[in-house]
Each structure stands twice: as C-alpha cells, then as structure tokens.
Structure 1
Amino acid sequence: MASTEDGAYEGFTAEERAAMKEHAREMKTAARRRSNADKAAEAERDVLAKIAEMRDSDRVMAERVHAVVTAAAPTLAPKLWYGMPAYALDGKVVCFFQSAEKFKARYATLGFSDLAKLDDGPMWAAAFALTEVTADVEERIGALVKRAVG
C-alpha cells in the first residue's frame, strides 16, 4: 500500500490495483467454464500463457518453477491468482510465483499460503526470493512443495 513519508495511508499502488482487477477477471473467467476437466485444462493454459508474457529472466524462472511444482506435487492444480501463476489444492492456493516485474521488485518470489504445511516451531519462512533457478534451487523448491502439501 502506498503511504507518504509521515506514514499516512494514500491507498493502493497502481500495481496493487491492477492485481486486484486481474483477480476479478480470473474469478469471472473461472465461473464461466463448464466442467471440472475443462476448468483444469483451461486454468493450466492460462498459467502457461501468463508465464509466456513475462520478461525473459522472470519467464525462465517461472517455467522452471512450474515444471518443478507440477512434478513434485501433481495434486496441486495450476491456476492464476492475482495475475500470478499459482498452485492450488481443492481450489485453495498453496503456493505461487510472483515475478520481479509484477511489483517492480529486485527479485521474483516463491510464496506459500497459510495452507502450506511448512510449520517449523514458532517461526518459519513463507516466501523465498529467487534471482535464478539452478539445479540446487529446483531441488529445494521440490522439497518445499512436497512438504507444503504434506
């Protein structure tokens, strides 16, 4: 959310408003789809199309994350969530990929919702910065996703 130097609230940023509008469109699109099989296939096509639109560095990472997540947890269904590739269990997002470009950040993010079973004592990480997806990073992502779906 946008704020002034003195901390006063100024409303949502342009990027946040765009993400909310994108989410509303995603919800309308999902509601119009017919069968569950159609919904799943079209949702994955939507995710792959969104990944294809990303700038090169984000796109390459998103493609690798998509491949790792879908291989590590086939029970997770790809879907768009606020304009980001996400992976859901029974319709509820467990993890997502946020491109660096989305909110003009210096790194992409692999994030997990509160449904992810990553609990580790009284504090644990729920998001991870990504600047590159190497073989080691793929291995870590796969392990996290498997753990998240428990």
Structure 2
Amino acid sequence: MTSTRQTADRDSDTQEWTAQERAAMKERAKEVKASSRRTSRAEKEAQDRAAVLEKIGEMGESDRELAERVHAVVTSTAPELAPKLWYGMPAYARNGKVVCFFQSAQKFNSRYAMLGFSDTAALDEGNMWPTYFALARLTPADETRIAELVSKAVS
C-alpha cells in the first residue's frame, strides 16, 4: 500500500518513482556493487568512512553542519558502528546492518534534515515509538538526546 505522501510525490497518472527516489536507488545500486569488490575488511571500512565524509562534504551548508555534528555524536557514542553510505546517505551500521542514518533536507527536497533509525535499532517502547527525528538545528541538549538514542539503539 502506498502512503499518501508517496503518492503525492509521484506522478499521479503513472505512479512512477520521483527523480529523487530514482537517484537514491541508483546510489544504492552503486553502493552494493562497490561492497562486492574484494578488499580487506580494514580497506572496506576506510573506504566507507571516506565515502561518508565525502558525502557530508557535498551537502549544502546547513545540512553539512548538522551531518558533521551527528557524525561526531554517533561515532563517539557508539564506536562499534561503522560509517557507510546507504541510499546515498551517511549511515552507521553494526555487522553490516544499518542502525541509524542522516537524511539531508536536500535529499528529497524536505523542509528539514532527519535522523532516522532502522528496525535493527533497539528503540522499541510499548506499541509505538518514533524512528525519525526532524533536525532543524542542534543544541548541546539535542546532541545529548541523540547520544542517548544511539546508545539505546545499540544496546
């Protein structure tokens, strides 16, 4: 079932993917192809880390500032998470599975950037809990909250 938001973003007559969705899928295909190349684990991790930092560097100023701060909080809070690209977004994975990711506002022409958590993140609370957080700017208190969420996600 397609959500109302997804339907509104797609051509209403043909239900085709938006240009942003197609670009994200192409980026993911490149990531999968690159990960299948034979390299040592250390080389792969170094390449992934460099690719994440490069992607962050390509972002517009406000998204870049947020992404840099999120990257610093995530990597210092959970050094066991490995930075990697995921659908062209900076992501942080454990055992190859993405736990959390940063989505820039420009990625899908959104109003704000987002910090998202995948289903592998241990954030479950009762019957309902948030998995995406809008980021307009980050205060020290916000960074503390992100560190708490990341810590819980990897517990």
Band of TM-score, shorter chain? over 0.9
1:90 corresponds to which of 90, 95, 102: 95
The secondary structure found in structure 2 opposite 1:39 is helix
Runs of 4+ displaced beyond 4 Å? none
Q: 67-76 or 32-41: which moved more?
A: 32-41
Query: Any gaps of 5 or more consecutive residues in structure 1?
Result: none
Identity %: 60
Q: How does 1:1-150 map to 2 (within 5 A)?
A: 1=6, 2-4=10-12, 10-150=15-155
* 1:141 Cα deviation after fit: 0.4
Q: Distance in 2 between matches of 1:3 and 1:129?
A: 26
Q: 74-83 or 30-39: which moved more?
A: 30-39
1:31-88 deviations in Å (ceiling 9; x for gaps): 2251000000110000000000000000000000000000000110000000000000
Q: 59-68 or 29-38: which moved more?
A: 29-38
2:114–2:135 Cα contact (<8 Å) kept: yes
The secondary structure found in structure 1 opposite 2:116 is strand
Q: TM-score, normalised to structure 1's length? A: 0.95
Q: Distance in 2 between matches of 1:62 and 1:23?
A: 19
